[in-house]
Structure 1
Amino acid sequence: MRPDLDDGELVDALATEQHFRDHLRPIYDALPADRRGAFLEARGIPRSSRPTVVCSFGDLNRARHAGRPAILLEHGAGQTYRDAQGRLLQHTSYAGGRDRYGVILALVPGPTARDAYLEAGTLRDAPIVEIGVPKLDPWHDGHRLPELTSPPTIAFAFHWECLVVPETRSAWRRFLPSVVELARRRPDLRILGHAHPRLRQTIEPVYAKEGIEFEPDFDRVLDTASVYACDNSSTMYEFASTGRPVVVLNHRLYRKDVQHGLRFWEGARLGPQVDDPRELEKAIARALRPSSGAAELRRQSVALAYHATDGKATDRAVRAILDVVTG
């Protein structure tokens, strides 16, 4: 149902962390001038009845505590987790999460996130619209082409040490010695470090100590890497959606007999999987060899996460927002 609106039906955006701003900015910038309100970045925001676009649970809380109807953009790939009985864990940080009151529209990347919300029923009557990933539109529509380097760049990234389930744990301590050894043995490869923002303060000094370049900006990783190696992150799907291989790094605690969906394990065919760090170099070599079969498996995995990769995600998001706002 259309909310009561003020200020000429303006729409605000709220993002208090940089990676959330990266997701929201394309949508905010594409709103018509007569509908575009303020882009808010502070944790304390004024009370208003303006619809406010957010993409994290923390910012959702801030918006509704300020009396604002919320438009929720799922910023990840739609990864969810389940308990031993296969029941969806309605964690607030993931698609299908509990405590979604105040949401008047959900913008989701694709079918996995949509299905999680339908299963959970936590959005009540709010429409769910599959849009893709607005921040990736420049890569998907060909306006921003990768600047692939010679020698090839192999980017390594790791999740933060999250304790929701074993599959949210970080594999960086398990794989970093092999990454360092790869950098030492293979001067014909450029090794680049990256990490989830919550891991950066921990791992960046470790990379520096080992003489490995660290790139905090994932856009630059998208611009330059030939292969992306990662344990668990929505960035795996972002990178794969540009047509390049991902090497999937498995923590020893990841359970092969537990089916959470997407990364675990239906959508994990983004590239070679590595259980033993000693096999890392071979996996990188396989990823660097083009294969039509591997490309098709990658495409199928990406399709589980994203509605489309046609460069029109921002347009779909804006249309959905205006449909709600203008009634």
Structure 2
Amino acid sequence: MNNSKAIDFFAWKHHYFEHLFPIWESLPPKYKGNFYVSTHIHELNRFSIPTIDDHFKISSNLQHIIHELSKQKNRLLVIPSIYGDFIDTINRPIALVSHGAGQTYKEKEYTLVPFRKNVILDILPNDHIGQVFKERYPNTTIEVVGCPKLDEWYRNFEPPQNPRPVISLSFHYDRNFVPETRTSFPHFKESLKCLAEEAEKKNWCVLGHGHPLMIETLIPYYEEYGFEVVKDFNEVMNRADLYICDHMSTLYEFASTGRPVVVLNAPWYRRRVEHGLRFWEFANVGINCDEPNQFISSIEKALEDPLEQKELRKKAVQGVYKYTDGRASVRASKALVKFVEANKVHLPSRRQTQVKGYSGINTLLKKQIDTSNSKIIIYGAGDHTTRLLNKLESINVIAVVDKDPSKVGTYIDQIPVHSKNMINQLGADVILISSQAYEEVIYEDLIKEFKDLKIYPLYKSNQSFEKEIFLEIYS
């Protein structure tokens, strides 16, 4: 076989591996390249990995694997996520398998473009995200297959026959992307005590779970209230009668096995913004709980699992997973084979289309701010500011300001970071907001407090070129 038709896989977390391994198993042998796994072998014990199979390259040394991956520039690489600083270093044509329910956030439609620059094939769970990606990323090929990870559950699973109700509680980590990606834990933290008291009264067993990036934060609380800590979601799937969570794809994974869920809504999840799927079209996959004082009653109603809720759950699951027949991995493997056989495996062109009227960040700023005479503060001490400062030319930035106390006293590109309460003492003329995700919130806050300064929201001030500004910053 032509070596270029071999397909490599890469999973750098064990919960990523479970999304890719079913596809690998379904792939015809002649298309199997190498399966690289950057994790500890004991974390993969539940998978039937042939120990004598030379295809598997398992190592806890991520840098070694990245070096090996970088050698095969002409082969398709299947990965479950684009979140990793090393993805760009590998510089391979990528097939991206969605490792969740396909949740997207429509007002940030272009934010992932720089990180997706080598993605040429998307393996997706539902038509909603398929349509979104067709509109956002015209250079990719779309294949909607369902969720390969769930195939084993659809084929073999029997719900547990627990002598007493087993309830699992979980929270997403606090991802500062949009308000809807934040964790709901601060809002419902006090409910844990009530849950512990009610569980003792009603003989409930409570399992404490959490996103891999959140579980260590949650464990002290779970232990305080006597909840059994369960890190592996597969154990939750095997044991629980009810699952409580805010916005992880595990809500739909659990619900797709025919069991009830409780959906936790924090007050910062914006009801007026419709992203689709979890926010808000299929939020009715379970009983919605908006306030801590509804926590116990939501659990009780969910455990009853009335017919109306069963029907809503079924419809939501059908919307999130197009197929629940246990053959998603087969469809995914066929899509990969079809793609490589069509000779579509190549790195996409880096040439960017010039947008009429867009002349670059520096020109925009010079037209709208007297950059030669103004003293400018940049608000926001994150990665966006680091990248922005690398693009600015001949602009007098005197300081960076951030409300995070851990960042105060540090430097970004030799510019000091101050606290917000220092703004008036810094003697600036302009505050330039450097945040794409939270610009609107920051602007509304600053405009009320600093009436004598020009508040300049970079994206809001240039709405016709929001995408171009973002791509220039992250190029």
State TM-score, norm by structure 2. 0.62
- Tell me how far apart the structure 1 counterparts of residues 138 and 210 of structure 2 sit (CA, whole Å): 31
Superposed CA RMSD in Å reads 1.9
Letter in 2 for 1:206: Y
- Tell me how far apart the structure 1 counterparts of residues 232 and 330 of structure 2 sit (CA, whole Å): 25
Q: Structure 1 residues 45, 21: closer, same or farther in 2, change over 3 A?
A: farther
Q: Which has the higher contact order (CA 8 A, sep 6+)?
A: 1
The match for 2:21 is: 25
**Greater shift after overlay, 151-160 or 174-183?**
174-183
- Tell me how far apart the structure 2 counterparts of residues 82 and 324 of structure 1 sit (CA, whole Å): 28
- Equivalent residues of 1:16, 1:41 under 8 A apart: yes
The reply on whether 1:237 has 2:252 as its aligned counterpart is: yes
- Tell me how far apart the structure 1 counterparts of residues 110 and 14 of structure 2 sit (CA, whole Å): 25
- Tell me how far apart the structure 1 counterparts of residues 80 and 161 of structure 2 sit (CA, whole Å): 31
**Shift in Å, 1:6:** 5.4
- Equivalent residues of 1:79, 1:112 under 8 A apart: no
Letter in 2 for 1:25: F
- Tell me how far apart the structure 1 counterparts of residues 210 and 125 of structure 2 sit (CA, whole Å): 22
- What per-residue deviation string (whole Å, max 9, x for no partner) do you get for residues 121-154 of structure 1? x251x3201111111111112x132324221111
The match for 2:230 is: 215
**Shift in Å, 1:62:** 4.2
Unaligned stretches of 5+ residues in structure 1: none
The match for 1:138 is: 152
- Equivalent residues of 2:95, 2:120 under 8 A apart: yes
Higher helix share: 2
- Equivalent residues of 2:27, 2:330 under 8 A apart: no
Aligned length: 311
Q: Structure 1 residues 160, 148: closer, same or farther in 2, change over 3 A?
A: farther
The residue matched to 1:57 in structure 2 has which SS? coil
Letter in 2 for 1:31: L
**Greater shift after overlay, 212-221 or 147-156?**
147-156
Q: Percent of aligned pairs with the same residue?
A: 37
Unaligned stretches of 5+ residues in structure 2: 39-61, 343-475
- What per-residue deviation string (whole Å, max 9, x for no partner) do you get for residues 142-182 of structure 1? x1323242211111110101111111111112223213322
**Shift in Å, 1:272:** 1.0
- Tell me how far apart the structure 2 counterparts of residues 227 and 233 of structure 1 sit (CA, whole Å): 15
The match for 1:82 is: 106
- Tell me how far apart the structure 1 counterparts of residues 198 and 255 of structure 2 sit (CA, whole Å): 26
The residue matched to 1:39 in structure 2 has which SS? strand
The match for 2:78 is: 53
The residue matched to 1:180 in structure 2 has which SS? helix
The residue matched to 1:186 in structure 2 has which SS? helix
Larger Rg belongs to: 2
The match for 1:161 is: 174
The match for 1:172 is: 185
Q: Structure 1 residues 144, 276: closer, same or farther in 2, change over 3 A?
A: same
Q: Structure 1 residues 132, 159: closer, same or farther in 2, change over 3 A?
A: same
Q: Pick one of 277, 280, 303 that aligns with 1:288.
A: 303
The reply on whether 1:129 has 2:143 as its aligned counterpart is: yes
TM alignment of 1:190-229, pairs within 5 A: 190-229=205-244
**Shift in Å, 1:100:** 2.3
- Tell me how far apart the structure 2 counterparts of residues 197 and 158 of structure 1 sit (CA, whole Å): 10
Q: Structure 1 residues 118, 52: closer, same or farther in 2, change over 3 A?
A: same
- What per-residue deviation string (whole Å, max 9, x for no partner) do you get for residues 32-72 of structure 1? 2222121112432421022111011035x745643422111
The residue matched to 1:26 in structure 2 has which SS? helix
The match for 1:183 is: 196
The match for 1:309 is: 324
The match for 1:270 is: 285
Letter in 2 for 1:225: A
The match for 1:70 is: 94
Letter in 1 for 2:110: Q
- Tell me how far apart the structure 2 counterparts of residues 52 and 99 of structure 1 sit (CA, whole Å): 15
The match for 1:9 is: 5
The reply on whether 1:107 has 2:120 as its aligned counterpart is: no
- Tell me how far apart the structure 2 counterparts of residues 45 and 288 of structure 1 sit (CA, whole Å): 50
- What per-residue deviation string (whole Å, max 9, x for no partner) do you get for residues 92-115 of structure 1? 3xxxx5542322321000012112
The residue matched to 1:232 in structure 2 has which SS? coil
**Shift in Å, 1:15:** 1.1
Letter in 1 for 2:152: P
- Equivalent residues of 1:103, 1:123 under 8 A apart: no
